[in-house]
Amino acid sequence: MKLVKVSAAVLNQTPLDWDGNRDRILAAIAAAQADRVSVLCLPELCISGYGCEDAFQSPAVQQMAAAVLAEIVPQTRGIIVSVGLPVAHQHALFNAACLIADGQILGLVAKRFLAGDGIHYEPRWFKPWPAGRRATWSWNGQEYPLGDLDFQLGDIKLGFEICEDAWVADRPGAELARRGVDVILNPSASHFAFGKMEIRHRFVLEGSRTFGVSYVYANLLGNEAGRAIYDGGALIASGGKMVAVGPRFSYADWQLTSATIDVDTTRMLQSRLGSFAPRLEPNATTVVAPFQFPTLRPEAVTAQRAGWETGPYVKEEEFARATSLALFDYMRKSRSNGVVISASGGADSSAVACLAALMVEFGTQELGFASFQQKLRYLSEVAGAKTARELVTQLVTCVYQATQNSSQTTHDAAAGVAAAIGARFYEFDVEALVQQYIAMVSRAVGRELTWGQDDLALQNIQARVRAPGVWMLANLRSGLLLSTSNRSEAAVGYATMDGDTSGGLSPIAGIDKAYLRQWLCWLETVGPAGGRAIPALAAVNCQPPTAELRPANSGQTDEADLMPYELLDAIERAAIRDKLSPLEVFQHMQPRFPQYSTADLGIWVERFFRLWCRNQWKRERYAPSFHLDDENLDPKTWCRFPILSGGYERELSELRAYVAAIK
């Protein structure tokens, strides 16, 4: 047996937080050294942070990253560590992993395949490194190998696939296996999306089997830069077996996942693979350095995932844990004194309030009350809290703002949810403000405003009047005002700009209304593993969604204004994700929703496309939102569409003709 202890670290980094990023890296290295780890893989670009955006192009940023690297190197005695940073070479910038062993830089591997789709814009800043090429990086008067490298340390050989390198068809791992690599390190910055963890499991496990190696996968953790959420989830596989799985959605600054692997076993696997063809000629890409690996004893394999990850409510758990962690990081990294929510008593604001409470529940469960409280030490208000519920009271404020169109039902629902989670609860009566605006505008235009003639304006003024008061409360508390708009509303612009869209962060703008209502039912009756359900949500879940902006006798509901939410979300995915024409969308909806008439389906499909085109400007103005799946509508990170367009006029004419012909 040739046993080697390897480890993957997940880190909660922040772009350009040089000292904080360095300290978390050093803490992970020190913990690995204490645990007799020989090889430690840290996440991609962990020195600078992955989300530096155009700041990557600054020479000062590149120089500072190298300076921090120099501070890390001396702290690596007795261990091999890979650490990520941007590296400039010949007037180009590369996404690199630096391999350090026993206090010495051995070389830097540059990423070959850059992520340039969806949320990623790496080709904007970095260049891809060509396969098999080696160069020299000159820094601080010394020269280091740079490029497509592998490393022979003692009798163990290491290689790299950097994040996207493992997601492409022509993975570098195949060539690394031919070079005789024993361990592949994958430093990643792989953002969270529903169901994505299963894909990572597959490529790590399959890479270890196909290449006959041990595979060490590290990732970022938490809300690094504002929109993307990183779930951690370090993985270690060897010879086609998963030997270690790290926790996801941790509130810790860093986590280590370690395993002892047997290099002789993977070498034997390679020798048995009929497809394995070693590269026998001398390899100019290999860096050779001495390293003394300690003698180890075999350890038990523990590759257990959290119970909720294999239970019946994986998506519900992922949404709760990802969004609450992202909200917590956004709040503390922006140094906000808690969050403020305009609570309507409906599904959206109730979900946001519950997520704010869950960040306290999850964080205190994992870290313990004192350690969680310490992460908020910039907030003097929380110092006196003795329980998690008291922390929620200090951090979460809900405000119900009534007009004459508001009902006792929504008031009681909002108050009930706030009481159940322990949030502060205020009530504002804004009807007098609404009437003042109506009277002022009526005088200006010389006529009385009426629901028959001025319906939309009279609805919108109620939503807009609510914004100044809740903004003022957030300002008084130096808090973070949370917008409560959801993705279904964003698709069709069913939101009042500078009204219910007001806020510095929109936590649920990436989630559709139909799923959100399903999630609230789960939270009411089941709740997260190790946590509790919130029965008070029954008062929310029993209501049909309504904006309550028309008089009560109008019977206003969201679905009457728009269409059934389940259908709206299906149309949105077909039209925007799948890029189908209006006629193709209609044809797809007919067999899926036979309960609706041909005429209604035609009206609703046309309504969606018209509202979609008309409201791109609103989507451009939404507060930052979290990336939760790879089909969201955020124009800053995923879904680009022109603000002005022809509005699908010709395509909608084709749809109307088709519907008329089949009636």
Give tens-digit pLDDT for 527-564: 999 999 999 999 999 999 998 899 988 889 999 999 99
Cα 431 to chain center, whole Å?
39
Continuous H helices in 256-346 = 263-272, 314-333
- Contact present, 22 and 65 (Cβ < 8 Å): no
pLDDT for 272: 83
Percent of residues in the chain assigned helix, strand, coil, to nearest 5: 45, 20, 35
Give tens-digit pLDDT for 160-179: 999 999 999 999 999 999 99
Question: Is 354 a residue whose pLDDT tops 90?
Answer: yes
CATH of 306-542, one of 3.40.190.10, 3.40.50.720, 3.40.50.620, 2.40.160.40: 3.40.50.620
- In the chain, the amino acid numbered 67 is A
Give tens-digit pLDDT for 4-40: 999 999 999 999 999 999 999 999 999 999 999 999 9
pLDDT for 270: 83
Q: Per-residue pLDDT averaged across 496-500, rounded?
A: 93
Say yes or no: domain 3-305 is CATH 3.60.110.10: yes
> Which among 336, 604, 377 is positioned nearest to 479, based on CA atoms?
336
Give tens-digit pLDDT for 284-330: 789 999 999 999 988 877 788 889 999 999 999 999 999 999 999 99
Q: In whole angstroms, what is the distance from residue 39 CA to residue 28 CA?
A: 12
pLDDT for 280: 67
Give CA angle at 442 (439, 443), nearest 5°.
90
Q: Per-residue pLDDT averaged across 501-509, rounded?
A: 96
Give CA angle at 379 (375, 381), nearest 5°.
125
Cα 190 to chain center, whole Å?
9
Continuous H helices in 427-581 = 431-445, 451-477, 487-492, 513-525, 538-541, 558-561, 565-572
Token pair of 383 as six digits: 């110092």
pLDDT for 117: 87
Q: Per-residue pLDDT averaged across 251-255, rounded?
A: 98
Give tens-digit pLDDT for 46-81: 999 999 999 999 999 999 999 999 999 999 999 999
Q: In whole angstroms, what is the distance from residue 571 CA to residue 585 CA?
A: 7
* Domain 3-305 identical in fold to domain 306-542: no
Q: In whole angstroms, what is the distance from residue 181 CA to residue 213 CA?
A: 7
Residue carrying structure tokens 């350890």: 299
- Contact present, 254 and 12 (Cβ < 8 Å): yes
Give tens-digit pLDDT for 76-106: 999 999 999 999 999 999 999 999 999 999 9
Pairing status of strand 92-101 against strand 104-110: antiparallel
Q: Per-residue pLDDT averaged across 239-247, rounded?
A: 96
pLDDT for 274: 67
Continuous H helices in 152-195 = 172-178
Q: Is 170 helix (H, G, I), strand (E, B) or coil?
A: coil
Q: In whole angstroms, what is the distance from residue 172 CA to residue 184 CA?
A: 10
Q: Is 379 helix (H, G, I), strand (E, B) or coil?
A: coil
Domains of the chain, by residue range, sit at 3-305, 306-542, 559-663
Q: Per-residue pLDDT averaged across 388-393, rounded?
A: 97
- Contact present, 341 and 397 (Cβ < 8 Å): yes
pLDDT for 283: 73
Token pair of 282 as six digits: 């001398």
Structural fold of domain 559-663: Rossmann fold (3.40.50)
> Which among 96, 9, 104, 100 is positioned nearest to 50, based on CA atoms?
96
Cα separations in angstroms, 278 against 106, 172, 174, 199, 486: 24, 14, 10, 28, 54
